[in-house]
Each structure stands twice: as C-alpha cells, then as structure tokens.
Amino acid sequence: MAYYRVNDHLYFSNAVSARDLDKLLYLKITCIINATQRQQSAQHPSIDFHRISVADSPQEDILKHLDRATNIIHETARKNGRTLVHCKSGVSRAATICIAYVMKYQNLSLREAHDVVRKARWAIRPNDGFWEQLLTYEKRLRHTNSVEFITIRSLRLPSVYRQEYSNMNQL
C-alpha cells in the first residue's frame, strides 16, 4: 500500500490503498475524495466521503470540479482533519486535484505546486488535457502562467518535464 503525503493534512494514493481501512485510520484520514467513476473506497463513520466522478481522459472536464475539491480539502484541514485524494493509479486525477489545492491554498504557481506534489510521488503525470485545465486554473488564480507546452522531438509536453525529456534524448 502506498500513500503519498503532500503536507500534514493532504495525502493521495491509488484505489487499492484507499480501501485499506486500517491504514486510513492509522493515518487519521477524516475525508476521502474519490476521483474515479467506479473505484471503491473504504467506508467508515469517522470518514467523510466525496466522489468526483471523472475519467482519466484528456477530454474530461476536471476543471469544473477543482474548486469543490480544493474547498473540501481546505475545510477538512481547517477542522484539523486529513484528506486522502485517490484515483485508480494515483498518477493523474488525484495528482491534478492535489496540484490545484497547493496552487489555491498555498498560493504557489503551477510549476511550484507541481514540484511540491512531485516531491511526494515522483511518478505523477496528469494527462495533457488536465495540464491544459491546470493552466486555465492557474491563470484564473494568478493571472499568469508558469508552465507552457513545449515540443521536444515532436513530443508535446508541459515545460516542467523539459529537463527530464532532454536528458532522455541524450541517451
């Protein structure tokens, strides 16, 4: 089971980990945000449950859910609770919501928020559609963008991955 700690009140994981009630209680999780359409989460009277039904597809509109999700995380933290955000793999949807939260409530740029969440789990990778929506969200919050899409060897990707992909091309 893998749980990735963003800060004292925010974790994210995959769906399998989100069903481990003993571990959730051990971590003192008081709120679960399930960012899937079908995956199940642990249920317990002491844990608030919220489903944000989104597919991991570049065409999916996750932007319309970001304020609700980030506000739930913020309110849970305000009450000294802890939120677990999960999707199927803990790579795209859950990471997108965590990045949005860090941008909004820690007042960081998208690039900085991505770095914070990526320190918790190196393997995060929101899909390109979610990246576009995170750019829109950042523009709404900060009136500027800290990330852009770039092309490396005909591959279009967010500029936060420039160094990583440039190094791969040198191999």
Span 74-124, pLDDT tens digits: 999 999 999 999 999 999 999 999 999 999 999 999 999 999 999 999 999
- Domains belonging to the chain, first-starting first, are 3-146 (3.90.190.10)
Give how far the C-alpha of residue 64 lies from the chain's centroid of Cα atoms, to the nearest Å.
14
Q: What is the rounded distance in angstroms from the CA atom of residue 140 to the CA atom of residue 13? A: 27
pLDDT the model gives residue 23: 97
Catalytic residue check, 31: no
* CA-only gyration radius of the chain, Å: 16
pLDDT the model gives residue 157: 87
Q: Which residues of the chain register pLDDT less than 70?
A: 1, 166-171
pLDDT the model gives residue 106: 98
Grouping H, G, I as helix, E, B as strand and the rest as coil, residue 156 is strand
Contacts with 33 (C-beta within 8 Å, 6 or more apart), sequence order: 50, 51, 52, 69, 72, 73, 83, 84, 85, 86, 97
Structure tokens at 22: 């003993």
Percent of the chain with pLDDT over 70: 96
Which one of 87, 97, 102, 103 is the catalytic residue? 87
Total-model pTM = 0.94
pLDDT the model gives residue 161: 85
Give how far the C-alpha of residue 53 lies from the chain's centroid of Cα atoms, to the nearest Å.
14
Q: What is the rounded distance in angstroms from the CA atom of residue 109 to the CA atom of residue 58? A: 22
Q: What is the rounded distance in angstroms from the CA atom of residue 155 to the CA atom of residue 138? A: 23
pLDDT the model gives residue 168: 61
CB–CB of 98/5 below 8 Å? no
pLDDT the model gives residue 171: 42
pLDDT the model gives residue 81: 99
**Burial class for 112, CB neighbours closer than 10 Å (0-12, 13-18, 19+):** middle
